[in-house]
Amino acid sequence: MAGNLVKIKMGRLDKIFDSVENGSLFKDKYVLQANYFPDNIPHRDKQIDQVASILAPILRGDRTSNLFVYGLTGTGKTLSVKYIKDQLLKRYKKEDTKLRILYINCKLKKVSDTEYRILAEIIKQLGSEVPATGLPTDQVYAKFVEILEEEKQSLLLILDEIDQAVKKISDSFLYNLTRLNSELSKTQISLVGISNDLKFLDSLDPRVRSSLGEEEIVFSPYNALQLKDILKKRSERAFNKGVLEEGVLEKCAAYAAREHGDARRALDLLRISAELAEREGSKKISLKYIDMANSKIDKDKIFDIVESAPRQFQLVLNSIINLNKGNQAQKTLQGTKINRIFTGDVYNNYQNLCEQTKTEILTQRRVGDLIAEMDMVGLINATVVSKGRHGRTREIKLSIPNQIMEKVSGILSERLMI
């Protein structure tokens, strides 16, 4: 009896394993993943050449112009710069001075947010240590300078997502960095800033702008054809022959092109489509999986945010959902009349919710910021409107798809113990 049961179970699992082992659509899934580093970067030759020619003097040990690289997400900025970094290091031969190229992503959680942490990361990459917290910032600077003065070297600092850093800190950080050169006798620092905010440079202090933006390069978005080409190159390595149905690449490319030509999005779309197809035991990746993948990406993002958000954030979100539900009900009852949701409404509802859940009530000021955050991450759509005599406020629209509203609501109730 018991043996039978196990046998049945084994049989079922074997089937699952078999389907993954034999029927796999993937040849090499890694090729489609975000951290894959391709050995050539299509359609970016012009930009790569530009960057390379600006940075080339560093091979002679000269200081190069500071460089600023713009471009929306998924336009190959990071990839291209990293590629050039590798090439430079490969070519560098001079013995008497050392060449060091540091790549720092200012957006990564462990690095981001403070001048201190960025410096700490730089120092760590230079091969020294500094405590994660506890030291005054100027001491960290001193340590940085000390390391640089140890020996003659050229330093190229690549700061990715630099706008994130400056938004949190002030641009005085960049100012300090650009000025450091005059204090150093043996070492030259060159900066490469990467940002996807096109207006970023304008918002900087003029002194910083002129020194950081000595050279500028713009990475324009890929168009649908280029995206398709990229997908094609990668899919040849990623998939087994013949698993892609006609038009799949085109559709992925088209979707991603719609999102400002984001290549990362295109690749994600393709990979997730394939995963979905595989899970359903399909031998081919057909068009319908792309649509599924597309909505799955959106949904997962929402669940992620909602689930990991801090309690107060969840409470406020819950209030908005409550109000929205009320509106839906009214809509069906009374026809066309829709109450718009404003900050004040949300705050009132939120206060009630706090009483129910015995949570401390935050000030309206703070709740306003939380609402702004939700707008930022795309959970809601909030626009500032002036209602004339009735003041000025944000009009809030929920932008969670209806199909997952229930589930989001469920997660919230569970986490908030309502």
Instruction: Round to whole Å and give the CA distance between 111 and 100.
Output: 19
Of 55 and 106, the one with the shorter C-beta distance to DNA is: 106
Nearer to DNA, 11 or 134 (CB): 134
Beta bridge partners of 135: none
Residue 190 and residue 81: Cα distance in Å, rounded? 14
Query: Which residue's CB is nearer to DNA, number 100 or number 117?
Result: 117
Return d(Cα 394, Cα 364) in angstroms, integer.
Answer: 13
Binding residue for DNA, selected from 71, 368, 398, 404, defined by CB under 7 A = 368
Q: Residue type for 317, please?
A: L
- Contact stretch for DNA (CB under 7 A) within 92-100, 186-194, 280-288, 338-346: 338-346
| Subset of 371-400 contacting DNA (CB under 7 A) | 371-372, 384, 386-394
b/e burial code for range 125-150 (CB count within 10 A of at least 16 → b)? ebeeebeeeeeeeeebbebbeebbee
Among positions 88-117, residues that touch DNA (CB under 7 A) are 113-117
- Using CB under 7 A as the binding rule, whether residue 344 contacts DNA is answered as yes
What residue spans of 27-171 are helical by DSSP H?
45-55, 77-91, 115-125, 137-150, 162-168
Nearest approach, Cβ of 100 to DNA (angstroms)?
24
Q: Which is nearer to DNA, 113 or 149 (CB)?
A: 113
Whose Cβ is closer to DNA: residue 113's or residue 250's?
A: 113
Contact 306, 408 (CB under 8 A): yes
Binding flags for DNA, 287-316, as an x/- string (CB under 7 A): -----------------------xxx----
Please say which residue, 13 or 384, places its beta carbon nearer to DNA: 384
The answer to the question of residue 206 lying near DNA (CB under 7 A) is no
How far apart (Å, rounded) are the C-alpha atoms in residues 132 and 115? 12
Q: For residue 157, what are the β-bridge partners?
A: 102, 191
330 or 383: whose CB is closer to DNA? 383
Q: Of 342, 398, 400, 408, which lies in the binding site for DNA, with binding defined by CB under 7 A?
A: 342
**Burial grade of 69 (CB within 10 A; 0-12, 13-18, 19 or more):** buried
166, 170, 172, 176 alpha-carbon torsion, rounded to 10°: -50
Examine residue 402 and tell whether it contacts DNA (CB under 7 A). no
- Please tell me whether residue 13 binds DNA under the rule CB under 7 A: no
- Report, in Å, the least distance between residue 57 CB and DNA: 34
Binding mask 243-262 for DNA (x = CB under 7 A): --------------------
Query: Hey, which residues between 133 and 192 contact DNA (CB under 7 A)?
Result: 133-137
Rounding to the nearest 10 degrees, give the CA dihedral for residues 40, 46, 48, 53.
140
Which one, 134 or 206, has the nearer CB to DNA?
134
Return the DSSP state at 362. Answer: P
CB of 412 vs DNA, minimal distance in Å: 16
Contacts for 246-252: CB closer than 8 Å, 24+ residues apart: 247/287, 248/273, 248/285, 248/286, 248/287, 248/290, 250/224, 251/287, 251/290, 252/227, 252/228, 252/290
- Asked if 364 is part of the footprint of DNA (rule: CB under 7 A), the reply reads yes
The residues binding DNA (CB under 7 A) are 113-117, 131-137, 310-312, 342-345, 347, 360-366, 368-372, 384, 386-394
